[in-house]
Amino acid sequence: MPFTRPALKLTHEGALAMLAAAIARANELGVPQNIAIVDEGGNLLAFVRMDGAKLLSRETSLSKAITAASHRQPSARLNPADEIKLSLAAGQRLTNLEGGLPILLDGVCVGGIGVGSGTGAQDVDVARAGLAAIGARDPLL
């Protein structure tokens, strides 16, 4: 019955490296994005809203990041029949929108990245670029 267990934390350096790579990929795609990175407790570590990105996608990007960190899986894996009631019961941060990915390092989920302002596919593409920058496992492969 141990009182503690070892864990791993994403550093702010790691979060900023993810942010930079995600911005670079969004620029390649020509789609300005909101990019949010949270730790495994769902608390914001780093964020950017690129010039021209949709204002309200600030909140959707955060919801996607929190969802991925919470469930330790990509954000569009809920049963569609349950997605709205799950979101409401969870206080709205739980979302079944595409564009949130867990940050998996050394087999541990250390947080989530959420991207919002493009299409679902563009959002996922940018999130994956963020993961690649720190050698995190791609949960879609």
Q: Where along the sequence are the contacts to a second copy (CB under 8 A)?
A: 1-17, 23, 39-51, 54-60, 63-64, 66-67, 69-72, 82-97, 105-106, 110, 134-135
Widest Cα–Cα separation across the chain: 52
How far apart are CB 126 and a second copy at their closest, in Å?
14
Decide: 38 and 12 in contact? Cβ < 8 Å: no
Token pair recorded at residue 120: 């679902």
* Residue 56 or 121 with smaller CB distance to a second copy: 56
Q: In angstroms, what CA-CA distances link 122 with 56, 75, 105, 130? A: 17, 14, 23, 13
Q: What is the C-alpha to C-alpha distance for residues 25 and 118, in angstroms, rounded to an integer?
A: 12
Nearer to a second copy (CB atom), residue 106 or residue 141: 106
Q: Minimum distance between the CB of residue 105 and a second copy, rounded to whole angstroms?
A: 6
Q: Based on CB atoms, which residue is closest to a second copy, 32 or 125?
A: 32
Give min distance, CB of 3 to a second copy, in A: 3
Q: How far is the CB of 29 from a second copy (least distance, A)?
A: 15
Nearest partner of 19 among 40, 34, 41, judged by Cα = 34
Tokens representing 6 are 């070892």
Cβ-based nearer residue to a second copy, 29 or 72: 72
